[in-house]
Amino acid sequence: MKLLFFIREMILDGKNRGDLHTHTHKEHELVYCFDGKAKYIQKGDLYFYPAGRKHAVTIEKAQAVKIWQIYFSEDLFSNSVNMDKEALFVLGQIKLYLKRGTRISLSRIGSERVGKLFENMQWEFKNRYHGYSWTIRLKLIELLVTVIRDREFILPIRGDIAKPLSNGHIQDVLLYLNTNYMNQITVDDILQFCPLSRSHFHALFKKETGTTLVKYLNDLRCQRAGELLATTDDTILDIALSCGFNNFSHFCHTFKEVYGYSPGQFRKNSATLKF
């Protein structure tokens, strides 16, 4: 049975844990430091390890921190439910933010709110009164929204810090592309929420980004594919499909145009290549 949600409280103590081996999870992992201070984590810190990302924990001797861990699968949310669609969109923004690392910067108020939500979810999970699973989902969504609304939360767009563009419509389009690149996207999809004519949109997009929609989207997908090639053992075909390419030969051709290497060559030399 697939794990949808799990929460637990732990004490990490260097005396009996030390360096944990590098590992991955099939589910997303959220870690919040409730108390204590160590070299790489202290009270109020929030870390997010997306499914499939390799990570490890290091706690030095004589140090101890109290943390809460949440494991959850995206299958917890359904694309057929409007509220869940919003949750997946918010989650997509957070995964985009995580291109810079796994620690999520929060203001003091934001960190306190996140800590309280962890505490509430732990209480619901432990006591399991009627409706607890639904309440946990709502609290998890509230936590994700709290993160993206925090004043410290700044999204990177294609590896750069998001800058205000002269046109807000194109800024919205870039956010949409960066959080939905894994799906098939057409101009018609974009024009459903971008109130511009087709010709005006293409001209404005080129003016604001310096490239075309197709080129921007292909570069974005290849960037994500490069990250997966370097950090996972997924097959190249699975990576191509997960990044929005529905034609394998087109993916290989486009990837080589972007990086100068085939996907296989890139993976083989990922220790020395930059992406």
Report residue 211 as tokens: 């490239």
Residue 38 confidence (pLDDT): 79
Structural domain contains residue 61? yes
Categorize the per-residue pLDDT at 75 as very low, low, confident or very high, splitting at 50, 70 and 90.
Answer: confident
Check whether residue 205 and residue 219 sit in a common domain. no
Q: Is 0.75 surpassed by the pTM of this model?
A: no
Categorize the per-residue pLDDT at 162 as very low, low, confident or very high, splitting at 50, 70 and 90.
Answer: very low
For residue 238, the enclosing domain spans 215-268
Structural domain contains residue 274? no
Check whether residue 131 and residue 180 sit in a common domain. no
Check whether residue 50 and residue 79 sit in a common domain. yes
CA distances from 180 to 26, 96, 151 (A): 20, 10, 23
Check whether residue 34 and residue 124 sit in a common domain. yes
CATH number where 239 lies: 1.10.10.60
pLDDT exceeds 90 at position 223: no
* DSSP β-ladder status, 103-104 and 160-161: unpaired
Could you read off the pLDDT of 111-138 as tens digits, one per residue?
Answer: 999 999 999 999 999 999 999 999 999 9
Segment among 75-89, 95-109, 216-230 with least mean pLDDT:
75-89
Structural domain contains residue 240? yes
**Higher per-residue pLDDT: 233 or 167:** 233
Check whether residue 229 and residue 93 sit in a common domain. no
Check whether residue 61 and residue 172 sit in a common domain. no
Structural domain contains residue 275? no
Residue 254 confidence (pLDDT): 95
Check whether residue 132 and residue 9 sit in a common domain. yes
Structural domain contains residue 165? yes
**Higher per-residue pLDDT: 108 or 165:** 108
Check whether residue 241 and residue 188 sit in a common domain. no
Residues 107, 151 contacting (CB under 8 angstroms): yes
Segment among 2-6, 12-16, 72-76, 114-118 with least mean pLDDT:
12-16
3 state SS of 136: helix
Domains held by the chain: number: 3
Q: Return mean pLDDT, the chain.
A: 83
